[in-house]
Amino acid sequence: MIVTVLRHCLPIAAQAVADRADEINKLNVFPVPDGDTGTNMSLTLQTVVKEVEALPADADLQAVAKAVTHGSLMGARGNSGVITSQILRGVAEGLVDYGKDDPITTGQLFKVLRHAKHVAFRAVRKPVQGTILTVIEDLSYKAEACAKSKMTLDEALEAIVTQAYESVARTPDLLPVLKENGVVDSGAFGFAVFVEAFVNAYLGHDGTVDFKTTVASPDDAKQKAAAKVAIELNDDWEGSEYRYCTEFLFKALDADFDEAANLEYLASMGDCELLVGSNPDYKIHVHTNEPNKVLGHMLEQGQIYEVFIHNMDMEAQDRTAAIAEDQAAGKSEPKKALGFVAVAAGSGQAEILRSLGVDVVVQGGQTMNPSTADILAAIEKAHARQVIVLPDNSNIRMAAEAAASACEDSEVAVVPTRTVLQGFAAMFVVETDLPMADNVAAMTEAIAGIRDGEVTSAVRDSQAADGSPIKAGDVMGIQDDAITVVGSDVMDVCVDLLVRMQTEEEADTCTILAGEDMTDEDFEALCERIEDRLPDLELDPHRGEQSLYPVVFSLE
């Protein structure tokens, strides 16, 4: 069970951070405004995912935990990446005592997060509140409270997502430089994005949850955090007197390598010093004006490799220029009459939406629910007097409507699309020379006759619409949000679901999208099977590249 969760959820959570790396970068002002936090966290997580994915399919929990620990150490980049790596190390160490198929309880979740907190704080010589450390500390306390109140694991995980964003929202109150610059902490925000995506991947929903045991919801917490995210220019260099971010991997030659003494040496050469790992393998990070001396000192005691030296002064200038460019972009051109914003879960989906006239595509969908702030930012980016939003997911509709209500600079309407394929159908009927109200009415009418089907795999035991049991790993065919077909093969389930839906109500056209895990060859073979079984149904196949769902389709 634990192995399955880790192997399924880690890639999704890592991708969520990668998708928002640029946004995280622009929040970055502490310890220096070098604008690389999102990039560093993403690179760190990608290394972890690669190491885990390289394991054989039958790898046990100890092997997966070792891969997480080693991958995070080897791939750790920057201050935020190294601290993230230590949190992951703590989680992995906290899990190794469990069996491969043991379920995690709320009490065990608390123990794992508590250990992760201890490992992360131990790695930092001078822990600073208002950073990623605050989030992992708050999550540990929240997990303890959930365990004491006897919450189920699902309830505890949902509460933890809320806590992550509430922790992010209070970082400016703990770290003055954040408040001065009008931002939340970038590392804290990036870690909250990771936690949310991981939990949502496990729970199998978008993040809009029915809270029975907590006052706030994840969306409430995200909005609270978003209210403090007003990225400002930062042209000074007051964050650090040191210019070079120096990091490298180190292999000690002496079994008696003195970690404490070398950490003291790093502190004497600069700040933000980190020395993590265990003999003989370490990751070293320091901000210094003399990287050559740091490298020379460590070469006397072992071997160094994968050296990265960044000029933080130049990176800060690049960050300032990028933010200035973003701020100027919306002011240089007059607003267009009508714009469109849509949500998509894959690059192929996004490409199709843009080809149909969508101005701004927000990444989101299953396991990655965009916040009201995300959608509001997209509305503003569309730079139009009137904007139509297509949430393309029923769980995103409320956030879209909240963003529409909050927008002061444009008139905004939401067409209640439940899937991206409904979004396609809505865009097909757009006539930009007509008033927005007429287009909204036409688009809403166009989606009324769309029937949707999805194929995915169960990540935990459940049951179908008829009450029959579903085991973790089963392939599910979902018809208009109800599980109606269950099997073991994606193609079989997809064809059976289509036949079932055609039998209930015959359609003329099927638009079908291949997910990122389905090869072109398999997709072509699937389409041939559908044409053989349903020769009168016209197929319109495309690459959607959505995660989790190897096939999604619509009938009309």
Q: Say how many C-beta atoms besides its own lie within 10 A of residue 265's C-beta.
A: 17
Separation of alpha carbons 404 and 391, rounded Å? 11
pLDDT of residue 172: 81
Residue 334, Ramachandran bin (φ over 0: left; ψ between -120 and 50: alpha; else beta):
beta
> In this structure, are residues 407 and 380 in contact, taking their beta carbons and an 8 Å threshold?
yes
Residue with tokens 């009418």: 445
pLDDT of residue 263: 84
Separation of alpha carbons 409 and 407, rounded Å? 6
Return the SS3 of 509. strand
Q: At what angle do helices 37-53 and 186-203 cross, to 10 degrees?
A: 40
How long a stretch of residues is the chain? 556
Residue 469, Ramachandran bin (φ over 0: left; ψ between -120 and 50: alpha; else beta):
beta
Q: How far apart are the first and last CA of the chain?
A: 39
pLDDT along the chain (556 residues), means of 10: 84 88 67 59 87 88 88 76 86 76 80 91 80 91 92 90 88 75 79 90 58 38 45 39 83 87 87 81 86 89 85 64 56 81 91 94 76 87 94 88 89 95 96 94 94 89 79 90 91 96 94 94 96 95 92 95
Token pair belonging to 183: 């931002």
pLDDT of residue 114: 93
Q: Which phi and psi (to 5°) does residue 178 adopt? A: -70, -45
For 274, what's the count of Cα atoms within 13 Å in the CB-facing half-sphere? 31
Three-state SS string across 52-96, please?
HHCCCCCCCHHHHHHHHHHHHHHHCCHHHHHHHHHHHHHHHHHHC
What letter would DSSP give residue 361?
E
Separation of alpha carbons 125 and 67, rounded Å? 26
pLDDT of residue 215: 32
> In this structure, are residues 495 and 529 in contact, taking their beta carbons and an 8 Å threshold?
yes
Separation of alpha carbons 143 and 111, rounded Å? 8
Separation of alpha carbons 217 and 209, rounded Å? 7
Buried b (16+ CB within 10 A) or exposed e, 519-528: eeeebeebbe
Separation of alpha carbons 312 and 29, rounded Å? 11
Return the SS3 of 470. strand
CA 527 from chain centre, in angstroms, equals 31
Separation of alpha carbons 436 and 442, rounded Å? 10
Residue 309 pairs with which residues in a beta bridge? 246
Q: Which phi and psi (to 5°) does residue 143 adopt? A: -65, -35
Q: Does the global pTM surpass 0.75?
A: no
Q: Residue 13 corresponds to which amino acid?
A: A
Contacts of 18 by beta carbon, 8 Å cutoff, 6+ apart = 42, 45, 46
Separation of alpha carbons 425 and 445, rounded Å? 10
Residue 461 pairs with which residues in a beta bridge? none
pLDDT of residue 518: 93
Composition of the chain by helix, strand, coil, percent to 5: 50, 20, 30
pLDDT of residue 235: 36
Please report the domains of the chain, with CATH numbers, ordered by start residue: 2-226 (1.25.40.340), 244-315 (3.30.70.1150), 333-448 (3.40.50.510), 451-555 (3.30.1180)
